[in-house]
Chains A and B, each alone.
Chain A
Amino acid sequence: MKIIATDRKGKIHEIDGNDGWTVMEALRDAGLPIAAECGGACACATCHVYVDGEWFEKLPKQRAEETDMLDMAVAAESNSRLSCQITCTPTLDGLKVTLAPE
């Protein structure tokens, strides 16, 4: 699947998301500046992304742990997700995300 990721300067990147990888891993693998300090343990909120438009609704619901951790994100919005908690699947082909500010 492909992920359409907008970086913090507004540049759009089309990157590969291998099935089973997390979106955070795909972003990191593509060299985008995502801190992901805790390495994907849902413990730091530094892989925070905004999910564009209708894609937000299509994602599997976030677990309570992620909802809680988003409280530690500095600029959370109603379409905020932690990219380490979204798994790449064929149904998410074309997923659009924007890196949240650091």
Chain B
Amino acid sequence: MSDDATIETDVIIIGAGPIGLFAVFELGLLDLKCHLVDILDRPGGQCAELYPEKPIYDIPGIPIVTGQELVDRLLEQIRAFHPHFHFSEMVQSLTKLPDGRWQITTDADTTITAHAVVIAAGGGSFVPKRPPIPGIENYEGKSVFYAVRKMEQFRGGNILIAGGGDSALDWTLNLAPIAKKLTLVHHRDGFRASQHSVNQMRELVNEGKIDFHVASVKALHGEDGVLDGVTLSGADKTEWHHETDALLPFFGLTMKLGPIANFGLNLHENLVPVDTEKFESTTPGIFAIGDINTYPGKLKLILSGFHEAALMSQAAFRIARPGEKLRFQYTTSSSSLQKKLGVN
């Protein structure tokens, strides 16, 4: 089944948040190698994306640590195990091979084969927030864009940007010089974005190079996914028509379950039911740890996920190394574990 391009490893971890990262550690102690896939462009999951600067007070033994510090420390802790990361990729399919192993493919056509798959996907994939404008999905990819991949595509365009954060302001500043016309709309005359960007934007408005309105987009007008205008609504609820051929909404990211929903895991309210001995789903060889799983008494705490990673690893070892005896050891006393960790 596998060709030259297929990566072979022991365990595939879907999600590189704190629990996925710690799973690398627990699996590593048992000599199991890991590949991690994450839709974000860096490790850390929610800790890095949602609250990098927020303090966390309930990590055992660390009275206070920020989201990003926890991620950095976990990365340091697992460095000796050389995990392979596949960032900015989303797992699209999960297939069982005739030899009993599992194969995943990503939206970047990465194919990985492993003995076990660990879903540590938290609340799902981070995807751009979609404004609740009727029919917006019909315009996505043609006239509505949540990211700018190629700036050239917008040269000479009549562009409408919605939002007040750094992405909205950064792209306003970047696209203003190449657009024929650029309009920024935001629900208030104040911005979350850096003051420097806001000042630059206001300067462009004063120079008449771009427009800014306190307004929000209420409706899209066009045909076959091609936009020719929108209805804007101002602070006083007056509505007007605004001609545009591209809308770029920038409201940050939210979590959606994504393709995991199609993996046949008997989901319960978008969570993967697991047992509490192995944290295995109803499909043998597919495990789920951290916020994505559910079982009686489940608490969505990072510390719970760490525990789940340790028990899952024992079960994954038995799948990946059938016939081998699992030697339970402590890092405090085991010279072989210390050697793996690179501390001895």
Contacts and interface: CB of A to CB of B under 8 A. Distances in A.
Interface in A11-45: 35, 37-39, 41, 43-45
Interface residues of A, number: 24
A46 B303 CA distance: 24
A93 interface: no
B129 interface: yes
Report which residue of A46, A72, A76, A101 has the largest number of chain B beta carbons within 10 angstroms of its beta carbon: A72
A41 B254 CA distance: 15
Nearest to A45: B252
A90 B123 CA distance: 34
Interface in A54-73: 67-73
A74 B129 contact: yes
A37 B251 contact: no
B131 A41 contact: no
Given A67-B190, A78-B235, A37 B216 contact: no
B255 interface: yes
Contacts of A41: 50-51, 54
A65 to B, nearest CB: 10
Given A35-B254, A38-B46, A102-B132, A75 B51 contact: no
Contacts of A101: 132
Contacts, number: 66
B115 interface: no
B224 to A, nearest CB: 25
Q: Is the interface of A mostly helix, strand, loop or mixed?
A: loop
A72 B251 contact: yes
Contacts of B252: 44-45, 72
A27 to B, nearest CB: 16
A102 B21 CA distance: 30
Contacts of A44: 50, 252, 254
B17 interface: no
A44 B47 CA distance: 12
Given A37-B254, A41-B51, A75 B216 contact: yes
A74 B251 contact: yes
B164 interface: yes
Contacts of A75: 131-132, 216
Contact of B251 (A43, A73, A80): A73
A45 B50 CA distance: 10
B186 interface: yes
Interface in B48-87: 50-51, 54
B54 A43 contact: yes
B157 interface: no
A77 B187 contact: yes
A38 B50 contact: yes
Given A35-B254, A102-B132, A71 B50 contact: no
Interface of B: 46, 50-51, 54, 123, 129-132, 163-165, 186-188, 190-193, 216, 235, 249, 251-252, 254-255, 300
13 contacts: A38-B46, A44-B50, A71-B164, A71-B187, A71-B191, A72-B192, A73-B251, A74-B132, A74-B249, A75-B131, A75-B132, A76-B187, A78-B187
Given A71-B164, A72-B163, A77-B216, 7 more contacts: A38-B50, A45-B252, A70-B187, A71-B186, A71-B188, A73-B251, A77-B187
Give the 6 A-B CB pairs with smallest separation, nearest first. A101-B132, A71-B164, A71-B192, A68-B192, A76-B187, A72-B252
Interface of A: 35, 37-39, 41, 43-46, 67-78, 80, 101-102
